[in-house]
Each structure stands twice: as structure tokens, then as C-alpha cells.
Structure 1
Amino acid sequence: MAKIVTAMDYWINGLQLSFVMAEAQSVIAMRAMGAVGLWSVPKSENSRMLNEKVFAFVKGTTDASIAAIAGKSPDVVVALAIKPIRQATRANHKRLTKRGLKRA
């Protein structure tokens, strides 16, 4: 039996994207402050931010493509595309927030 798609299914994806945007902005701010020595970031942060984006976008694209080919509903396809990006932004925000301002 096919899933009945409701407006709430699309709203949830929009909410997840809102979280991605908010967390990404704070992660960008913390990384920028880390680049000038104000925020405590590990030395590997620059390479990490590039590598994780590649993984998240490839994983999201692959999962969404497989779901689309399998005939899944659009809300499921979009949710699968968002999921690895959301996981990365959530993890980065949590990790960098714990590090905090650099102490003099």
C-alpha cells in the first residue's frame, strides 16, 4: 500500500532545512573565529570542513537517487537528501560549541 503524503511531510523537510541553515551559520562563525584565533578549533578543522561536505553531499545524492529510482514519494527523496547534511551540521555545531572561546 502506498504512503499517503500530507502537507506535514513536506513541512518536516522544511524544518530540517531550517535547522541545517541555522547550525551551518553558527558553525561558519565558530570556524571563522577559530581561523583568527578567537575560538578553540583543532588544527584539522580546515581539512575536516572540506572532506565532510563531499561525504555528506555524495551520500545524500546517492540515497535520494536510489529512493527516486525505487519510486519513493518526493518527501522521502528530499528527506534522504537532507539527512547526511543535517547530521554533519548537527555534529559540527555540538562539537564546536563545546570547545568554546579561546582563553588568553
Structure 2
Amino acid sequence: MPKVVTAMDYWANAMQMGFVLAEAHGVIAMRLLGAMGVWSVPKTENSRMLNEKVFAFVKGSTDASLAAIAGNTPDVVAAAAIKPIRRATYYNHKRLTRRGLKRF
């Protein structure tokens, strides 16, 4: 018997995307403050910023494709696409928040 998809299945994905958006805004703000010399960011932050996006999007699209090929429901496919991006934004936000303001 196929899985019955409920509104809550889609709501869970919407919540995860909300977290991605909120954390991404925080990460962007901290990186901009770092570029201005106010926030403490490592010298490798610019290259890291580019590399992690490529990895997260490729991993998300691959996982979503595999989930779709396996015959999963749309909510499972979307969750597979969101998961690597959510992981990247969560850990970036956590890492940069801990660094804090630059000491002058």
C-alpha cells in the first residue's frame, strides 16, 4: 500500500526551508561584517563560501534524484534535496556565531 502524504509532510519541508533562509541570512550578515573587519572570520572564508555551495547543491540534487528514481513521494524527494543545504547553513551559522566580534 502506498504511503499517504499529508499536509504535515509538506509542512515539515517548509519549516526546514524556513530554517535554511533564517540561517543563511545570519551567515551572510556575519560574512559581510567579516569582510568589513568587524566580525572574526578565518582567512579561508571566501573560498569556503564558494566550495560548500557547490557540494551542498550537487549532493542535494543527487539525493533528490535517487529518491525520485526509487519511487518516493514528493515530500521525501524534497526533503532529500533540502537536507544537505540545511546541514551547511546550520553548521556555518553555528561556527560563525561562535567566532563573535573582532577584538581590536
Runs (5+) with no aligned partner, structure 2 = none
Q: What residue in structure 2 maps to residue 99 of structure 1?
A: 99
> 1:39 matched to which residue of 2?
39
One-letter code aligned to 1:65: S
Partners of 2:49 and 2:99 in 1: how far apart?
Answer: 16
What is the total number of aligned residue pairs between the two structures? 104
- TM-score normalised per structure 2: 0.98
Residues 63-100 of structure 1: CA distance to partner in whole angstroms, max 9, x if unpaired? Answer: 00011111100000000000000000000000000000
Supply the distance in 1 between the matched residues of 2:2 and 2:67 (Cα, whole angstroms): 14
Letter in 2 for 1:54: V
What TM-score does the superposition give when structure 1 sets the normalisation length? 0.98
- Displacement of 1:54 in angstroms is 0.2
In structure 2, the partner of 1:61 is 61
* In structure 1, C-alpha distance between the alignment counterparts of 2:48 and 2:2, rounded to whole Å: 40
RMSD: 0.6
- Aligned equivalents of 1:79, 1:89: Cα separation in 2: 15
| Identity over aligned pairs, percent | 75
**1:14 alignment partner in structure 2:** 14
